[in-house]
Amino acid sequence: MSTPFAAAVLSSSVLSGTSLLYATLGELVGERAGIVNLGLEGIMLIGAAAGFAATSFAGNPYLGIAAAALAGMAGNLLLGYVVIGRGANQLAAGLALLFFGFGASTLIGRPFMGAIVTGLPRLALSELGAFDLLVWLALPAALLLWCLIFRTRWGLALRAVGEDPAVAFAAGRRPGQLQYQALALGGLLGGIGGAHLSLALAMTWDEGMTAGRGFIAIALVIFAKWNPLWAVAGALVFGAAEALQLQLQARGADVSPFLMTMIPYLLTLTILVFWGWSRRSAAPAALGRNFFGVE
């Protein structure tokens, strides 16, 4: 492999992986609090559409990011309301959010389809290359999230809620409130993940443009063992799979893109089997209330 090829793949991986990383981090926070969100794909779509619409309307991509973040947060809070406030089944609620995302994003994005927007500008902040702001902020975001989860009082309480809400309650924490906060933060990150697609990668809005990335992110959270730092590695790996496939295709190589896209899912499944075999589940014990338990 020549250096330009490797560099192209790396650069492409980083670009592809960024939206995945934000989405993964968003899902991770929620799952640490014990709530699994199958509708992450929907949140990303809402973020992508809202971001694109706001940018097209206001001419400012940073405003678009803000709009996407808010829209994502709103979506997650809707999930929060039915799951926390009303005790609804998390899987059904997640799927409802998924459908909601498909529908709402189409409704929001449709008037702006085909519009030309000034996407996020690429900034050459270091000699590693010229990437947009969200890429530069991705790694710091993961680090910050790690500190938040593992080195703050809020993070400790959050993890306690995700493991055993009864014990957290006995310790004087409020599980419901913490879960809402986690979902809000998660939705914010998920929306940003979607915005990166429409404002930096594709610079357009199309129905269903997330193409399953939300579900890959859900798998990534498991792959990363609910740890933001591993999520960076995972997003890079999964981003690389996509990038490699694109670059190979561009060079006329005959590798089926479909087989490559399968790899993340099969890899995650293999890892899960291995965990099951070695009885090493790192999942928060109260996640989804029996979502990940095997007993």
Interface with other proteins (CB under 8 A), residue total 72
Quote the CA–CA distance of 269 and 276 in Å, as a whole number.
10
- In whole angstroms, give the CA distance from residue 254 to residue 261: 14
- Scanning residues 180 to 209, which ones bind other proteins (CB under 8 A)? 207-208
Interaction of residue 15 with other proteins, rule CB under 8 A? no
59 binds other proteins (CB under 8 A): no
Among 58, 136, 163, 201, interactor with other proteins by CB under 8 A: 163
Q: Which is nearer to other proteins, 102 or 131 (CB)?
A: 102
Nearest to 261 by CA among 275, 248, 251: 248
User: Least distance (Å) from other proteins to the CB of residue 235?
Assistant: 17
Told to check if 35 binds other proteins by CB under 8 A, we report: no
Question: Cβ contacts of residue 39 below 8 Å, gap of 6+?
Answer: 75, 79, 93, 94, 95, 96, 97, 98, 99, 100, 101, 214
154 binds other proteins (CB under 8 A): yes
- Residue whose CB is less far from other proteins, 129 or 257: 257
* 98 forms part of the interface with other proteins (CB under 8 A): yes
Residues 244, 242: Cα–Cα separation, whole Å: 6
Check residue 38 for interaction with other proteins (CB under 8 A).
Answer: yes
Member of 82, 115, 202, 203 binding other proteins (CB under 8 A):
82
Tokens for 10, please give them: 């790396």
Tokens at 238, concatenated? 């999964």
Among 215, 225, 229, 249, binds other proteins (CB under 8 A): 215
Candidates 6, 123, 144, 273; binder of other proteins (CB under 8 A) is 273
Q: Does 121 bind other proteins (CB under 8 A)?
A: no
Rank residues 65 and 213 by Cβ distance to other proteins and give the closer one.
213
Q: Using only the alpha carbons of the chain, give its radius of gyration.
A: 19
Burial zone of 39 (CB within 10 Å; 0-12 exposed, 13-18 middle, 19+ buried): buried
